[in-house]
Amino acid sequence: MKKLFALFATLGLLAPFAMAQTPDAPPASVAPETNTPPPRPATIHERLAAALAIPTISTQDPKDFPHDEFDRFETFLAQTYPLMHERLHKEKHGQHGLLYKWEGSNPKLKPVLFMAHQDVVPIPDIELAQWTHPPFSGHIDQTHIWGRGAIDVKSMVMALCETAEILLEQKHQPQRTIYFAFGQDEETGGRDGNQKIAKRLKERGVAFEWVHDEGMVIADGIIDGLQRPVALIGVAEKGYVSLELIAPGMGGHSSMPPNETAVTKLAAAIVKIQDNPLEPALDGPVRELFETLGAHMPFPQSFLFSNLWLFDGLVTGQLASKDATNALVRTTTAPTMISGSIKDNVLPTEARAVINFRVHPKDSVQAVKDHIRKVIEDDDIRIEVAPNTLYSEPSAISPTSAKGYQLIEKTLNQHYPNIYVAPSLFIAATDSRHYRDLTKNIYRFTPYWMTAGDRQRIHGIDERISIKNYKAYVAFFQDLVRAASEIQ
């Protein structure tokens, strides 16, 4: 049961390229360069490896954003998937956000959107030497494709492009219009990518039958008591807000400090916030998750989860007491930044702290603010949303009875007949939040087959995907997109 309670938060989840300088005039013995593109990689895993070799790293500071690499990736997609770029309508939003529209034959049917993001997180210099293969080498061995983005989530961009190209080669004509949206800044909030794409689609009056974005995975051998892997579909995601607490002080020299300073006031407030978290609750998709999986577990888990009407308090208390599962049942509190004086012997006139909250669907950002104001018991401390940070309310809970969920579940059962499928709460944030006004049906699932040893690879060292997994990944989306494009 310990492994069961340790699973979900870890799942809640996600070197610049040197351009050679060519001489102004080549020697007579050297043939002049042409504009002929490089040959298309022959296999799907070679194409993914080539994509991973392009370092599309998103950065917090716009001045450091590698625009050339994103331009290169866009060119790579156009050269690698010629039918997709010939027959689908392509638009660019923001600086590098890509939107593709595959027109359906029946305009009465609401379209479906498939999403992913082009950008990947940076690699700290201290970690580079720890990689088995360089993170942007596009290395392939007999079993795996290695590189940043193999899991999160360049592989999904490539799988969706592979899907479109394959279906076009098969002369598939969708009845329902299909959109593909690939943002370039999801890892830093998505403001210039999918936020702008969603805004433009809303202005055009587009409404989606359902939206599919990155999210949860197929968990294999991670949940104690389950004899089979389980595909977890995120039907909701937590909100996100970082609040800044600003405590005033008298200032002055540290040799004659008052009993209360800006720092002590701030420290007392942080302790009160940490000691008084928002209340937990076992409801919504998390409750449905345990009710679904409980039937497949041995005693006593099966007994507890099949009788939550009786053991709700016991199970909720156990979940809330574990760091790994606390995030499933409540809004989490994480003090992350603190600042005060500019010198060790100077009392600050102001001390600041940033506290990050992942807001549970039962709460709201305003409820978090109200709770913090109440527990700190100090009206002198200002509470503001931290500047230049992501801000989003928790999502609504998308129904498991809707077409999108049912179709994802059906396709999963066709491709993986020996797995369980269950809804859950995604505790991270995705670009899908920008599309909440365009549909009430948003599902967050990545067909990555994850074992316990893979979890630390997400945003970590030696990110990789097996060739077998990636082939199944593409096959899954091929059937899902085909089915989504037909009348259901």
Among the ranges given (82-91, 152-161, 321-330), the one the predictor scored with the smallest mean pLDDT: 321-330
Say if 319 falls within a structural domain: yes
- Using the CB atoms, write b or e for 248-271: b if 16+ within 10 Å: bbeeeeeeeeeeebbbebbbbbbe
Q: Write down the pLDDT at residue 323.
A: 82
Arithmetic mean of pLDDT, 86-102: 98
Q: Tell me, what CATH number does 136's domain have? A: 3.40.630.10
Arithmetic mean of pLDDT, 440-455: 94
Q: Is 357 exposed, middle or buried (0-12, 13-18, 19+ CB in 10 A)?
A: buried
Q: Write down the pLDDT at residue 18.
A: 29
Same-domain pairing of 231 and 82: yes
Are 115 and 432 in contact by the 8 Å Cβ rule? The answer is yes
Q: Is 119 a catalytic residue?
A: yes
State how far the Cα of 150 lies from the Cα of 457, in Å rounded to an integer. Answer: 10
- Residue closest to 297 by CA, chosen among 422, 408, 399: 422
pTM given for the model: 0.88
Q: Tell me, what CATH number does 330's domain have? A: 3.30.70.360
> Domain limits at 402?
44-237+394-484
pLDDT digits (tens, 9 = 90+) for 373-389: 999 999 999 999 999 88
Give φ, ψ of 70 to 5 degrees. -70, -35
Among the ranges given (22-31, 180-189, 200-209), the one the predictor scored with the smallest mean pLDDT: 22-31
Q: Write down the pLDDT at residue 36.
A: 60
| 91 Rama sector, left if φ>0, alpha if ψ -120 to 50, beta otherwise | beta
Same-domain pairing of 151 and 198: yes
Q: Write down the pLDDT at residue 89.
A: 98
pLDDT digits (tens, 9 = 90+) for 240-254: 999 999 999 998 899
Question: What percent of the chain shows pLDDT beyond 90?
Answer: 82
**Annotated catalytic residue, options 69, 119, 162, 463:** 119
Same-domain pairing of 200 and 68: yes
Residue 117, strand partner residues: 183
Place of tokens 């010198």: 343
**Annotated catalytic residue, options 69, 162, 185, 186:** 186
CB atoms within 10 A of CB 62: 11
pLDDT digits (tens, 9 = 90+) for 456-468: 899 999 999 999 9
Among the ranges given (137-146, 199-208, 223-232, 275-284), the one the predictor scored with the smallest mean pLDDT: 223-232
Same-domain pairing of 99 and 122: yes
Say if 185 falls within a structural domain: yes
Query: Which secondary structure element, helix H or strand E, spans residue 233, and what is its range?
Result: strand 230-237
Same-domain pairing of 110 and 58: yes
CB atoms within 10 A of CB 356: 17
Q: Write down the pLDDT at residue 265.
A: 97
Q: Which of 354, 385, 416 is the last residue of a domain?
A: 385
Same-domain pairing of 215 and 251: no
Alpha helices (H) in 233-307, listed in sequence order: 262-275, 284-294, 301-305
Q: Which of 336, 352, 385 is the last residue of a domain?
A: 385
Place of tokens 């030696």: 462
In this predicted structure, the answer to whether residue 31 has a pLDDT above a threshold of 90 is no
Q: Domain count of the chain?
A: 2
State how far the Cα of 69 lies from the Cα of 443, in Å rounded to an integer. Answer: 30
- pLDDT band (50, 70, 90) for residue 35: low
In this predicted structure, the answer to whether residue 324 has a pLDDT above a threshold of 80 is no
Q: Is 291 a catalytic residue?
A: no
pLDDT digits (tens, 9 = 90+) for 413-446: 999 999 999 999 999 999 999 999 999 999 999 9
Same-domain pairing of 223 and 263: no
Mean pLDDT over all residues of the chain?
91
Arithmetic mean of pLDDT, 271-283: 96
Strands 112-117 and 210-220: parallel
State how far the Cα of 429 lies from the Cα of 440, in Å rounded to an integer. Answer: 17
- pLDDT band (50, 70, 90) for residue 371: very high
Same-domain pairing of 303 and 219: no
Q: Which of 385, 418, 447 is the last residue of a domain?
A: 385
Rg, Å, the chain Cα set: 25
Are 478 and 169 in contact by the 8 Å Cβ rule? The answer is no
Same-domain pairing of 199 and 64: yes
SS3 content of the chain, % helix, strand, coil (to 5): 35, 20, 40
In this predicted structure, the answer to whether residue 178 has a pLDDT above a threshold of 50 is yes
Same-domain pairing of 435 and 417: yes
Same-domain pairing of 317 and 466: no
State how far the Cα of 422 lies from the Cα of 4, in Å rounded to an integer. Answer: 14
Angle between helices 44-52 and 467-484 (to 10 degrees): 100
Same-domain pairing of 450 and 345: no
pLDDT digits (tens, 9 = 90+) for 183-196: 999 999 999 999 99
Q: Write down the pLDDT at residue 225.
A: 82
Say if 12 falls within a structural domain: no
Say if 10 falls within a structural domain: no
Say if 148 falls within a structural domain: yes
Check residues 238 and 487 and name the one with the higher pLDDT.
238
Say if 345 falls within a structural domain: yes
State how far the Cα of 240 lies from the Cα of 243, in Å rounded to an integer. Answer: 10
